[in-house]
């Protein structure tokens, strides 16, 4: 479970550039729940992700993951609990390393000290099994450098790498926005399959109103640093993408 209590984030506090980015955020996400997040630019969506990952420490409030208070823990100390896939397919992988080397680094996330890859046949077989889940043939290319992959293939690899360990949370930060729509749809299908198969707790930022309703169990809308709508259950099922667009006229 994720529990966020009274989180506030203020950038450049006490200066002329002061910006109150998150305002008294309260949010509970149940184990195995998939939440989509919508909102305009500057709504605070990515900052909320950064607070959960540890990239931003809030000015006040508390964050609990599985009843553990992680509010002041660094990104590194949360890395075993929180996985993240970014908008840019190039961010989540190392282009000059092979697929298996990238996966080995991800496998040791949260416990690794140093850069020893320690690859063996048992680990390679585990990587092949994980890659075969997405069904795009990457399991046969373990020794290929990631630089040879397309953007969609790299994003699929990033998704698999993010779930190699038993993370508590998967954060998806507009992870299909930089892809061709056709490839983006394939990545979303892969995403849905991975979240369902691994029973992950996931939060996904999207600018696609169709994606926001088609995937997940719940949709929250942010506006100027606040959660202004929380849509779930039968109420959410009755909504159309056009309904969500209307909600932006606050």
| In the predicted structure, residue 113 carries a pLDDT above the cut 50 | no
What pLDDT is recorded for position 101?
93
The residue whose two tokens read 């490839």 is 183
pLDDT tens-place string over residues 9-53: 999 999 999 999 999 999 999 999 999 999 999 999 999 999 999
User: What local confidence, expressed as pLDDT, does residue 133 receive?
Assistant: 84
Average pLDDT, the chain: 91
pLDDT band (50, 70, 90) for residue 112: very low
200 CB-near residues (< 8 Å, 6+ apart): 32, 34, 163, 167, 169, 170, 194
- 187, with CB counted inside 10 A (0-12, 13-18, 19+), is buried
Place of tokens 């993408």: 241
CB atoms near residue 149 (< 10 Å): 20
Write down the pLDDT at residue 30: 96
43 forms bridges with which residues in the sheet? Answer: none
**Residue 75 CA: distances (Å) to CA of 49, 57, 71:** 12, 10, 11
Distance from C-alpha of 97 to C-alpha of 145, rounded to nearest angstrom: 5
Distance separating alpha carbons of residues 53 and 140, to the nearest angstrom: 32
CATH tag, 2-94+167-247: 3.40.50.300
What is the arithmetic mean of pLDDT over 75-95? Answer: 90
Residue 193 has pLDDT above 50, yes or no: yes
The average pLDDT across 84-103 equals 92
Residue-range domain boundaries for the chain: 2-94+167-247
**Calpha distance 74→70 (Å, rounded):** 8
* Token representation of residue 2: 């994720």
Distance CA 176, CA 190 (A): 11
Cβ atoms 164, 153 nearer than 8 A:
no
């Amino acid at each position: 479970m994720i529990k966020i209590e009274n989180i506030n984030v203020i950038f450049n506090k006490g200066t002329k550039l002061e910006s109150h980015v998150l305002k008294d955020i309260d949010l509970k996400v149940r184990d195995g729940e998939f939440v989509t997040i919508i909102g305009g630019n500057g709504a605070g969506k990515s900052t909320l992700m950064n607070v959960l990952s540890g990239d931003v420490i809030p000015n006040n409030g508390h964050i609990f993951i599985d009843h553990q208070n992680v509010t002041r823990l660094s990104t590194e100390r949360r890395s075993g609990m929180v996985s993240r896939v970014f908008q840019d397919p190039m961010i989540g992988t190392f282009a000059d390393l092979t697929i298996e080397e990238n996966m080995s680094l991800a496998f040791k996330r949260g416990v690794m000290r140093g850069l020893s890859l320690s690859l063996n046949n048992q680990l390679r077989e585990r990587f092949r099994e994980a890659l075969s889940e997405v069904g795009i043939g990457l399991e046969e290319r373990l020794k290929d450098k990631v630089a040879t992959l397309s953007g969609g293939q790299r994003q699929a690899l990033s998704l698999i790498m993010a779930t190699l360990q038993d993370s508590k949370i998967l954060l998806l930060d507009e992870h299909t926005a930089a892809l061709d729509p056709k490839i983006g749809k394939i990545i979303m299908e892969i995403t849905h399959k991975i979240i369902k198969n691994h029973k992950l707790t996931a939060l996904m930022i999207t600018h696609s109103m169709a994606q926001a309703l088609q995937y997940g169990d719940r949709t929250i809308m942010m506006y100027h640093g606040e959660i202004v709508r929380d849509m779930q259950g039968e109420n959410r099922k009755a909504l159309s993408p056009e309904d969500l667009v209307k909600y932006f006229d606050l």
